[in-house]
Structure 1
Amino acid sequence: MCKCFIVRENNKKPNRGNRTTLTYMASVATHFSAFLFLFPIGLHRLLSSSSLYLHNPSHFRSKLWYLSDPKWKNIDLFALIITLPIASFSEFFLFLSLSGHPSYKFSFFHQSFTLLAFWVLIILIIAYEYVATSSFLNESFVFVIGGVVFLVEYYVMGEGVSGLAGVVYGLFGGLTLVCAASCFYLSVKPNAFFAEFSLSCGLVFKGTWLLQVGFSLYTDAFGLRGCQKISSFLDPHQESVDVKCDLDEDRLRGVALMNLLFTVHAIVVMVLAFGLFGVLASIRNLRGGEARGPLLSELESTSNRLRALPEIEIE
Structure 2
Amino acid sequence: MASLATHFSAFVLLSPVGLRRLLCSSSLYLRNPSQFRAKTWYFSDPKWKNFDLYSLIIALPIASFSEIFLFLAFSGHPTYRFAFFQQSATIFLFWLLLLLIICRENLDPMHIDEGFVFVLAAITFFIEFSVIGKGISGLGGTMYDMLGALTLACAFSCLYLSFRPWSFFAEFFLSSGLVFKGTWMLQLGLSLYTDTFGLKGCKKMAVWPHKSENAELKCDLEEDGLRGLAVMTLLFIGHAIGVMVLSFVLFGWLARNWNWRSGEASGPLLQQLESEHQLVLMRATSQEIELE
Structure with more relative contact order (C-alpha pairs < 8 Å, separation 6 or more) = 2
* Residue 249 of structure 2: aligned partner: 275
CA contact (8 A) 2:3 2:207 kept: no
Q: 1:35 aligns with which of 11, 15, 22?
A: 11
Q: Which amino acid aligns with 2:119?
A: V
The separation in 2 between residues aligned to 1:286 and 1:109, in whole angstroms, is: 44
Structure 1, unmatched stretches of 5+, are 1-23, 288-315
CA contact (8 A) 2:254 2:260 kept: no
Q: Which amino acid aligns with 1:270?
A: M
Q: Which amino acid aligns with 1:190?
A: P
Worse overlay, 53-62 or 26-35: 26-35
Instruction: Tell me the CA shift for residue 158 of structure 1.
Output: 2.2
Identity among equivalent positions (%) equals: 60
* Residue 195 of structure 1: aligned partner: 170
In the alignment, is residue 66 of structure 1 matched against residue 66 of structure 2? no
The separation in 2 between residues aligned to 1:64 and 1:159, in whole angstroms, is: 29
Instruction: Tell me the CA shift for residue 233 of structure 1.
Output: 2.6
The separation in 1 between residues aligned to 2:207 and 2:178, in whole angstroms, is: 27
In the alignment, is residue 207 of structure 1 matched against residue 182 of structure 2? yes
In the alignment, is residue 171 of structure 1 matched against residue 146 of structure 2? yes
**TM-score, normalised by the number of residues in structure 1:** 0.80
Worse overlay, 50-59 or 93-102: 93-102
- CA-based RMSD of the aligned residues comes to 1.6
Aligned residues, how many?
A: 261
Instruction: Tell me the CA shift for residue 76 of structure 1.
Output: 1.4
Q: Which amino acid aligns with 1:75?
A: F
Instruction: Tell me the CA shift for residue 132 of structure 1.
Output: 4.0
CA contact (8 A) 1:85 1:116 kept: yes
* Residue 83 of structure 1: aligned partner: 59
Q: 1:255 aligns with which of 213, 220, 229?
A: 229
CA contact (8 A) 1:114 1:152 kept: yes
CA contact (8 A) 1:99 1:233 kept: no
Helix, strand or coil: the match of 2:208?
coil
The separation in 1 between residues aligned to 2:258 and 2:209, in whole angstroms, is: 56
* Residue 146 of structure 1: aligned partner: 121
Inter-CA distance 286–151: structure 2 relative to 1 (3 Å threshold): closer
Helix, strand or coil: the match of 1:99?
coil
Helix, strand or coil: the match of 1:229?
coil
In the alignment, is residue 225 of structure 1 matched against residue 200 of structure 2? yes
CA contact (8 A) 2:27 2:260 kept: no
Q: Which amino acid aligns with 1:102?
A: P
Alignment deviations for residues 63-106 of structure 1 (CA, whole Å, 9 cap, x no partner): 11111111110021122111101000111111122232211100
The separation in 1 between residues aligned to 2:3 and 2:133, in whole angstroms, is: 15
Instruction: Tell me the CA shift for residue 206 of structure 1.
Output: 0.3
CA contact (8 A) 2:116 2:162 kept: yes
Q: Which amino acid aligns with 1:34?
A: A
* Residue 95 of structure 1: aligned partner: 71
In the alignment, is residue 130 of structure 1 matched against residue 106 of structure 2? yes
Alignment deviations for residues 166-197 of structure 1 (CA, whole Å, 9 cap, x no partner): 01100000000000000000000000000000
* Residue 8 of structure 1: aligned partner: none
Inter-CA distance 132–119: structure 2 relative to 1 (3 Å threshold): farther
* Residue 111 of structure 1: aligned partner: 87
